Amino acid sequence: MSNPYADLPPRAFWRSGVAMADRSRFPGLYEPRLTLTPATAVATAGSCFAQHISRHLRRAGCVVLDAEPAPAVMPEPVAQAFGYGVFSGRYGNIYTPRQMRQLLEDVLRRRTDPRFVWARDGAYVDAFRPTVEPEGHSSPDEVLVHRTWHLHRVLQMLRRTDLFVFTLGLTECWEDRETGRVFPVCPGIAGGTFNPDEHVFRNFRTTEIIRDLTTIHTHLHRFNPNMQMLLTVSPVPLTATNSGDHVLTASAASKAILRAAADEFVKTTPGTDYFPAFEIVTHPASGGPWFEPNMRSVSAAGVEKVMDIFLSAHGLVAEPAITPPAGPALASASDEDEENVSCDEVLLDAFANHGPQGGVAR
């Protein structure tokens, strides 16, 4: 008897697609709709997990654009501390689609606003990327000059981009009540002063996310009409939630909303695709656990697994990471933290009231 399931491929069935499948490679899990070759000019943005994508794409010989490359003589640890080479622009972590949309609109309008210069420890930082300058600038004007430079460089980069890879991180953010502009971190954490009359908590709903993704897509095509867009959802849970829910359920809700929005957007928007990094890391079927003992940071093995599946689906192979030899006296060492991933959201953890057992005291 004929039925619609009779001719479906193995990937459509749990037993052949998951239970009996080679789960180290997960054949068929990701069948790219977009073209990615070593000649494709890729730009990356998003939450901290997006940094892995840039790094592995470079190792696979792909052209990952860099709007603001570190100056030639700037040592790598300094470059990383100042946000160079982490993403395709020195925009820091972009956690929400609203934040991404806002950046693109700033680029399009060359917009800087002195209201969004934050004071921090006697210095000044850009409220929309407060952690790319660990020591800050000496004046608000200096912040604005640097932001103008940044927006110009990002504009140049976006005009060259063939494939824009955006990793969705969070639904929660803080918004300026007057202007509706959103921040990557809550005011008062990495600069500025929190004021409940000025700063509003936002937890974006699925429809808002879809709307922002659609606007992002439209804006990207203003830079390059042929630009394609690849979405991922970061598997990294929230560091903290202001939703009133437990952070575990808040994380689950946030990721579910982002995942649903990504699905809706990709299914209805040509020239877009979704890569299931979130599923690979978080689903028990993929083995694991792929998290570090803090149950938040994705382990190096987890990242390798995700990126192997991604790259092999595109016919690409990442060269092994080059580990510098243990240097004699003349080499300088740097601490490794979460495989050198920069994550502004982790700053929130400093404000947790950890109890004696490592829990959060209520």
Partner 1 sequence: MTARICFLGTSHIAAPRRAWTENSGRWPGVTASFVGGHGDTLLQTEITRGVMRPVSDAARSAFHTLSGVDLVNLDGFDALVLTGCQISLSQAVLVHKSMRWIGLPSLPSAANLPAMKPALVSHAAARASLCAMLDDRLGPVLARHLRSGTNVPLWITSQPRYSIAAAKSDKKHVVPYLLARRMGDGPAISALFDDAAARTASAAGATFIPQHPGTIRQDMFTALTFMRGATRLAVDPDRPQPSNDFIHANARYGALVIDQVVAALTGRAPPTLPDMEPSAE
Distance of closest approach, residue 136 Cβ to partner 1, in angstroms: 7
DSSP annotation of 137 reads: B
Whichever of 125 and 343 has its CB closer to partner 1, that residue is 125
Q: Strand (E) positions, 48-162? A: 63-64, 117-120, 123-126
SS3 for 290?
coil
43-51, 71-79, 168-176, 287-295 -> range binding partner 1 (CB under 8 A): 71-79
Name the nearest CA neighbour of 57 among 71, 70, 39: 39
Regarding 359 and contact with partner 1 (CB under 8 A), the answer is no
Q: Strand (E) positions, the chain? A: 41-46, 63-64, 117-120, 123-126, 163-168, 172-176, 182-183, 199-203, 228-233, 272-275
Regarding 159 and contact with partner 1 (CB under 8 A), the answer is no
Identified binder of partner 1 from the candidate list 1, 73, 295, 326, rule CB under 8 A: 73
- Tokens coding 257: 């909303």
Identified binder of partner 1 from the candidate list 330, 353, 356, 357, rule CB under 8 A: 330
Identified binder of partner 1 from the candidate list 148, 207, 218, 268, rule CB under 8 A: 148
Q: What is the largest CA-CA distance in the chain?
A: 76
Regarding 136 and contact with partner 1 (CB under 8 A), the answer is yes
Distance of closest approach, residue 110 Cβ to partner 1, in angstroms: 10
Distance of closest approach, residue 332 Cβ to partner 1, in angstroms: 6
Name the nearest CA neighbour of 84 among 62, 107, 66, 103: 66
8-16, 75-83, 214-222, 230-238 -> range binding partner 1 (CB under 8 A): 75-83
10-18, 206-214, 323-331, 346-354 -> range binding partner 1 (CB under 8 A): 323-331
Name the nearest CA neighbour of 295 among 351, 358, 350: 358
Contacts of 19 (CB under 8 A, 6+ apart): 285
Q: Are 112 and 151 in contact (CB under 8 A)?
A: yes
Neighbours of 294 (CB within 10 A): 11
Whichever of 145 and 321 has its CB closer to partner 1, that residue is 145
Name the nearest CA neighbour of 192 among 204, 174, 178: 174
Distance of closest approach, residue 325 Cβ to partner 1, in angstroms: 15
Regarding 247 and contact with partner 1 (CB under 8 A), the answer is no
Regarding 191 and contact with partner 1 (CB under 8 A), the answer is no
Neighbours of 8 (CB within 10 A): 12
Regarding 108 and contact with partner 1 (CB under 8 A), the answer is no
101-109, 136-144, 200-208, 260-268 -> range binding partner 1 (CB under 8 A): 136-144
CA angle (62 as vertex; 57, 64 as ends), nearest 5: 75
Whichever of 6 and 73 has its CB closer to partner 1, that residue is 73
Site string for partner 1, 261-290 (x = CB under 8 A): ------------------------------
Regarding 332 and contact with partner 1 (CB under 8 A), the answer is yes
Identified binder of partner 1 from the candidate list 18, 34, 74, 347, rule CB under 8 A: 74
Name the nearest CA neighbour of 286 among 273, 302, 308: 302
Distance of closest approach, residue 144 Cβ to partner 1, in angstroms: 9
Regarding 133 and contact with partner 1 (CB under 8 A), the answer is yes
Q: At 99, phi and psi to the nearest 5?
A: -65, -40
In the complex, which residues of this chain contact partner 1 (CB under 8 A)? Answer: 68-75, 77-78, 81-82, 133-138, 142, 145-146, 148-149, 152-153, 329-332
